[in-house]
Amino acid sequence: MGGGLPKRQISLIYGPPASGKSLFCLSACNSSPRSCYIDARSHISAFSLLKRPGSTLIYRPEDFVEFEQAIDRATKAKFPLLVIDSFTRFYLDTLSSSNFPSYNHALSSLLSLLASYSRREDAAVLLTTNISGNKPIGGALFDPIPTRIRLENDSFHLERSPLREPVSVPFLFSDLLS
């Protein structure tokens, strides 16, 4: 990826289930002197994959209120790397409910908070989401995010802008974990 994640902005990783989004995020945490990993999916044993567990704070929110609290705590702690896996974890639960518009607004507000945080603290913010069709779940919510990485089984596509075609690059998970 040309030397790592860009600071002062949000980057989005999206792809189908089991495409390596969480491994990518944990690798980023292993490369950072201090990081916060918000594991909204609680499906991976993050501690066992971290090379320096003491340098990464892990939150595991059980609902949207705890999710917002974890983001609030992480931004106040001023981590140089903040990872949220998966940013849209609670999104699908609300799609068919009457709470969807307020939830969508809340996610928009959190994205704005995270963008301000990344600029103010010179930090990298990394979000993940699954894929629906060929687009990230959350759709237009992520349009302002300048760097998007679409993972697939054997490659990733780096997208710098929604107006440019993605670039395909070979991608080996063994490279991330070594």
Distance CA 62, CA 34 (A): 24
CA atoms of 34 and 54, how far apart (whole Å): 9
Q: Mean pLDDT over all residues of the chain?
A: 77
Alpha helices in the chain (DSSP H): 21-31, 46-49, 64-77, 91-94, 100-120, 173-177
- Which domains, from first to last, does the chain contain? 1-55+65-135 (3.40.50.300)
Lowest average pLDDT, out of 1-15, 85-99, 120-134, goes to 85-99
Cβ count within 10 A of residue 82: 26
Model confidence at 70, pLDDT cuts 50, 70, 90, reads very high
Determine the Cα–Cα distance for residues 5 and 146; give it in Å rounded to an integer. 12
What contacts 173, CB < 8 A, 6 or more positions away? 20, 23
Which of 47-61, 78-92, 117-131 is predicted least confidently?
47-61
Q: How many CB atoms lie within 10 A of CB 88?
A: 22
Query: Model confidence over 125-153: pLDDT tens digits?
Result: 999 988 877 788 877 888 888 888 888 86
* pLDDT tens, position by position, 94-135: 666 666 667 778 888 899 999 999 999 999 999 998 887 778
- Per-residue model confidence (pLDDT) at position 141: 83
Bridge-based pairing state of the strands 147-151 and 81-85? unpaired
